[in-house]
Amino acid sequence: MNLTFGPIPSRRFGMSLGIDLSANTKQCNFDCLYCELAPAKTVDKQTYSSNINDIVEQVKISLKNHPNIDVITFTANGEPTLYPYLSELIDEIDKIKGEAKTLILSNGANIYEPNIQKTLSKIDIVKLSLDCISLECFKKLDRTHNSVDCSKILDGILEFKSTYHPTLIIEILFVKNINDKPKEIELLVEALNQINPNRLDIGTIDRPPAYDVKPLSFDELESIANQFKSQNITIAYKQRPKSLQAYSDEEILILLQRRPLTKEDIKNTFDKNSKNTLNMLIKTNKINIVNKSGVEFYKFVK
């Protein structure tokens, strides 16, 4: 059985070697409306778990064959933190990972549990989903298992962030007419201001979902992104539109005061002269370039 996959190029993390902690079947405590996997009954523990030694041996082979791996990603056909030997597996991967970083893609459902926080604190990059703040939205969109206490998730993320010092990334996936409503966005903005993650990734449906739900347009996502002021935001969109515009130096500074922009943002919106102006603003120390987990942001210097 293939317990690893890739490496595959990731726009936001570089070359990623995936470890599937539920390779045999979907095992998840969420049944999200937008999930690309088939609908399945939610669970609070795995009924089948892969052997640690088998995983480690496959990772060793991949690292030998692909020395350019940037991240080793713990993921799953479901929720990777349900894997009962995750802590021990992280320890074993740390012994062989070399220069690569470890990354986990988690729905954050059980982040309020002390043992989960302790385990995740050993990982270099932790990416947690946070699609909704209100219980009504959680139940409608993420469709959580009964054992998940939705009301504790935000508190759990805040507690984890207060003690976790490597990289914390929050991801929000927006679904039309559910978590894109003004009240839900307002709650998310307030929550992200409290969390202040290293990076915020927002996106929408770009693969066939498990249920009949609709994506947002890029313009809608960009409008939402502009409400998360001062956050380092990436917008994931499969067919991102390209519309080159001319900006003065003052307009560029105003844009970057609103929110930092990525290189992809600049590529798709700045014309040649505007890019030259941007470079001059960098040389005069009015704008800085900062790297947040493999993504470079242009930031206004206060």
What residue type is 260 in one-letter code?
A: P
For the cut 80, the answer to whether the pLDDT of residue 226 exceeds it is yes
pLDDT band at 93 (very low <50, low <70, confident <90, very high): very high
Asked if 80 and 120 count as a contact pair (C-beta separation under 8 A), the reply is no
Element (H, E) at 1: none
When pLDDT is averaged across residues 147-157 and rounded to a whole number, the result is 89
Please state the pTM of the whole predicted model.
0.81
Residue tagged 């039309």 (tokens)? 176
For the cut 90, the answer to whether the pLDDT of residue 263 exceeds it is no
pLDDT of residue 243: 63
For the cut 80, the answer to whether the pLDDT of residue 69 exceeds it is yes
Structure tokens at 261: 């922009």
For the cut 70, the answer to whether the pLDDT of residue 82 exceeds it is yes
Residues facing 125 on adjacent strands: 103, 167
Q: Tally the C-alpha atoms within 13 A of residue 10's C-alpha that lie toward its C-beta.
A: 20
d(CA 45, CA 288): 45
Asked if 106 and 120 count as a contact pair (C-beta separation under 8 A), the reply is yes
d(CA 14, CA 25): 27
Sorted by sequence, the CB contacts under 8 Å of residue 100 that are 6+ apart come out as 17, 63, 69, 70, 71, 72
When pLDDT is averaged across residues 109-133 and rounded to a whole number, the result is 95
pLDDT band at 114 (very low <50, low <70, confident <90, very high): very high
pLDDT band at 18 (very low <50, low <70, confident <90, very high): confident
Residue pLDDT, tens place only, 153-187: 999 999 999 988 788 999 999 999 999 999 999 99
d(CA 18, CA 105): 10
When pLDDT is averaged across residues 287-294 and rounded to a whole number, the result is 77
Domains delineated in the chain: 4-236 (3.20.20.70), 249-300 (1.10.10)
